[in-house]
Amino acid sequence: MRVRALRSVSLFGAVALAAVAGCGGQKGAGDDAKASARRAALVAEAWDGSAAAAAWRAGYHPMGDVVQLPRGGLRSRAEEEALRDHAVVLRGTLPGAGPKNGRVTWAGGRSVTRPMVGAAESYEALAGGRADGKPHLTVTGAKAGRMTVATSRGPAVVPAWLFSLEGYADPLKRSAVTASPLPRPPIGWSRGVPGLPLARVVRIAADGRSVTVIALDGARDDGPVVTVLETAGSVVLSGAVENPEHGDRTKRARLRQVTVKLARPVGDRVVLDAHTGRPIPCEPAYGPSPSRS
């Protein structure tokens, strides 16, 4: 398991999650680990072979960036930060709404039809940040096209808006179809199990053998720990912190990228959070799918 610090955040937003999921307690570390393992097994048992799992496999669930940079990437780190900060401005016109639905296609001809978002809505998801006096990207127009997106069922070709950028020969692409709704989980939140839910998936390795998630830990504990339970139908991740009894007197926390190695590729297995019993949302560098923007 590899851990990388990102930044500090207020703990106030995490307090409610900690209260629901449990965050330490009077039991020893061995008891905590056993409780966490039991919870992961219950989540896997509830999902494997369930209607929710079947709905997940039948849908379109992006598991990678729905934004594709121009060939060769952006020209500078400042422009990369501008895109992450939504410092994007429009100097031109955008097409109309376009068709209401678009087809998502996988290898072998499998496909699903999903509602589409128009060029204006797609642009608004990229923009909205402050660009005055700061490095920014300028959109000069857009046209309909297609792109490849990593999904829970493997790479898929999807309709996209191709945005022309000032100073770039190649467009910036953004998926134009909405993700399928997440299925209703067959199991509820945990009660009294130590640890915290995981915030999101940021990356699944190209070979599917590792998953990088965002975990939260206090500024005075010994860092986050993410354990994994793999079954034929699911990958259940459990988030916790080492030595939570150290406390967090600063009321600050750190977001951490934690990479978990798997015994075999994720494939079409659903990646679940043990504490919530739900699929862990995927929010890569340049934003989630259009329906979750």
Q: Which residues of 116-140 are buried (b: 16+ CB within 10 A; e: fewer)?
A: bbbbeebbebbbeeebeeeebbebe
Residue 245: its pLDDT value, please?
Answer: 55
Average pLDDT over residues 203-209: 88
Residue 249: its pLDDT value, please?
Answer: 40
Per-residue pLDDT band at 15 (split at 50, 70, 90): very low
The encoded tokens of residue 77 equal 């780190």
Residue 248: its pLDDT value, please?
Answer: 47
Residue 152: its pLDDT value, please?
Answer: 87
**Residue 139 in contact with residue 164, Cβ under 8 Å?**
yes
Give the C-alpha separation, 150 to 20, whole Å: 32
Give the C-alpha separation, 178 to 114, whole Å: 6
**Residue 213 in contact with residue 226, Cβ under 8 Å?**
yes
Residue 97: its pLDDT value, please?
Answer: 80
Answer yes or no: is pLDDT of 16 > 50: no
Per-residue pLDDT band at 260 (split at 50, 70, 90): very high
Give the C-alpha separation, 260 to 50, whole Å: 25
Average pLDDT over the chain reads 83
Average pLDDT over residues 26-39: 76
| Nearest alpha-carbon partner for 215 in 250, 239, 246 | 239
Beta-strand ranges (E) seen in 101-248 are 101-106, 111-115, 137-149, 156-165, 172-175, 200-204, 210-218, 224-230, 234-241
Out of 18-22, 195-199, 228-232, which region has the weakest mean confidence (pLDDT)?
18-22
Give the C-alpha separation, 17 to 1, whole Å: 24
Q: What's the predicted TM-score (pTM) here? A: 0.79
Decide which of 98 and 51 is more confident: 51
Q: How many CB atoms lie within 10 A of CB 216?
A: 22
Tell me the per-residue pLDDT of 101-150, one tens digit each, with 9 for 90 and over.
999 999 988 999 999 999 999 999 999 888 777 889 999 999 999 999 98
The residue type found at 113 is T
Percent share of the chain, pLDDT over 70? 82
Burial of 182 (0-12, 13-18, 19+ CB in 10 A): middle
Answer yes or no: is pLDDT of 9 > 90: no
